[in-house]
Chains A and B, each alone.
Chain A
Amino acid sequence: MKILVIAEQRQGKWNNTSFETLAAAQQIAKDTSSAVSALVIGKGVVGLADELAAKNVAEVLLVQHDLLEAYTPDGYCMALSQVIASAKPELVLFPHTYQVRDFAPKLAAMLGKGMIGDCVGYRNEGGKLVFVRQMFQGKTAADVTFQGAAPWFASFQAGAFRSDLVAAHPSGKAPVNLVTVDLKPEQIRTKPLDLFKEAKSAVDLTQAPLIVAIGRGIKAPENIPQAEALAKALGGEIAASRPICDEGWLPMERQIGSSGQTVAPKLYLALGISGAIQHVVGMKGARTIVAINKDQNAPIFEIADYGVVGDIFEIMPALTEALEKAK
């Protein structure tokens, strides 16, 4: 089998989950006696192609065009569908990034194929690949298989594989092959404008060693001071899952998860957080995770070191008091 990894860059900088996907591809290749190629797309990305060529890949495909300087779903789909038609990979793998979510399903559909997105793993069942992804906000896992002929498309969730396990090229460098694509300006219907960050966040949660995070279980904004008191007693920062910031109960800069900050504190105390994937990718690197939730089946318990099944409104004040006493 021929596996093609579509690596992601923006303005000449890698999205690091690309290397996690490359690690996944190398592992699948080992399991199925396949060969891995990697692809970089953009303009002025020769240096990035060389970086990929230092990894254990059969070849690097370099797709460059003036119209690919800034990402557009039309430009990427037009270019990549041409590359896939000529390179004929059986399995095309992507990191599950916001950008991939924006174009990869369309790319697959242009070729009449489906994409299994947001996978957390795979199994090789006698030569047939089974992809594992989460459903019902992480409450269940699902085994998903491709139907019909190749090419097949799949993306891997951030953190599903380890980028530090990417194998280097055994003899130095893989060949970098330039693939020319035919694109016309009128094929690109959307126009990307300025890239920007909102007002620099006052708090850098990535540097906080202790974090108290709240989720839907907090129920109402008037309950937040209880969590803040707990954070204060702990000497930590308050943070939240997306729904809390969507409601405006805490500012967006306190959000942990795929659309917020990714943190790896010494202690992460999750209060009333169910543990949906989008949140978990932002905090599963924490050294110690404590989860308090009334639902014993909440997926957050799957990654917790210490768990308490109970009412956060009873435990928060008790824990605040115990922490004050322990000082």
Chain B
Amino acid sequence: MNIIVCIKQVPAKDAPLSIAGNWIRESDIGFEMNEPDSYALEEALRLKEKHGGEVIALSMGPERVKQTIKEALAKGADRGIHIADDNFAQLDPLGSAKSIAAAIKQQKHDLVLTGLQSDDKGFGQTGVLLASVLDVPHATIIMAIEVDGQKMRLKRELEAGWFQHIECPLPAVLSIQSGINKVRYATLKGIMAAKKKEITTIARESLGVSAELTQKVEKIYVPTKTKKTEFLTGTPKEVASKLVEKLKFEARVI
């Protein structure tokens, strides 16, 4: 079973963001693997361990995203594909999906996995759009995958504590829900082995995809506050007693 996992590199969780127009100043911060995608990678590795085949880690972006591909290789992915585009932050979800789909089509594969959404733009559309462009079935917010020949039995999470089983033929695209598994760490052996693994770089322009915008992020900004927050300051002890006072006599909730 050959699985392609789409992995995005996003600003590190604690990175201080400095806004520059409709994106952020990238030079100031560190980047890391998009956490929801790490669950998709883990699921791919588990499926490979069970059913054989190979796991391809695919990521789009500037040179820096190779580091994230290397991390996936260290965890056990067999090879990597880097769709190189310095300007990829300006793509919209459909343009991204068309580009990724074009690169995926060049690879023999049975299954494509994505995370649920990215922690940067958070559109959460890549998986669904990939399936649409590749013309294969899809399912999202997946909590369990059982492969049975040419079809899968999936557990989808719905809202308010509901779930649903669905049956889906292969090939397909699945968006994996965070928390589906416990993500592994790369071992030293894995990190060493990754050095010998291949990363193929494809220039995004060479894919011949028109990425005309269907929507445009005009600008990003710090949201305006809707509520007036009263900040309490002092030593932990002072803060604690102030807060108890407030909750008791002002908010009257305790």
Contact = CB atoms under 8 A, between A and B. Distances in A.
Interface of A: 10, 15, 73-74, 97-99, 101-103, 105-106, 108-110, 112-118, 130, 134-148, 189-198, 201, 209-210, 216, 234-235, 242-243, 245-248, 252-253, 258-262, 266-267, 277, 287-288, 290-291, 295, 297, 299, 301-311, 314-315, 317-319, 321-323, 326
- The CB with the most chain B CB atoms within 10 A, among A209, A295, A302, is that of A302
A307 B230 contact: yes
Contacts of A262: 160
A147 B216 contact: yes
Contacts of A113: 214
A247 B181 CA distance: 9
A273 B40 CA distance: 24
B149 interface: no
A308 B239 contact: yes
A258 B141 CA distance: 12
Contact of A140 (B131, B138, B178, B223): B223
3 interchain residue pairs of minimum CB distance: A114-B214, A246-B179, A318-B240
Interface string B211-223: 0111111111111
Interface residues of B, number: 82
A106 B122 contact: no
Given A248-B182, A302-B225, A109 B162 contact: no
Nearest to A110: B132
B254 A234 contact: yes
B203 interface: no
A194 to B, nearest CB: 5
Contacts of A311: 236
Contacts of A303: 226-227
25 contacts: A105-B132, A109-B129, A117-B123, A135-B121, A136-B24, A137-B119, A139-B17, A141-B222, A143-B219, A143-B220, A193-B165, A194-B164, A198-B163, A260-B161, A287-B251, A299-B223, A302-B223, A307-B229, A308-B239, A315-B240, A318-B239, A322-B243, A322-B244, A326-B244, A326-B254
A323 B242 CA distance: 11
A10 B119 CA distance: 29
Nearest to A72: B166
B241 interface: yes
Nearest to A291: B229
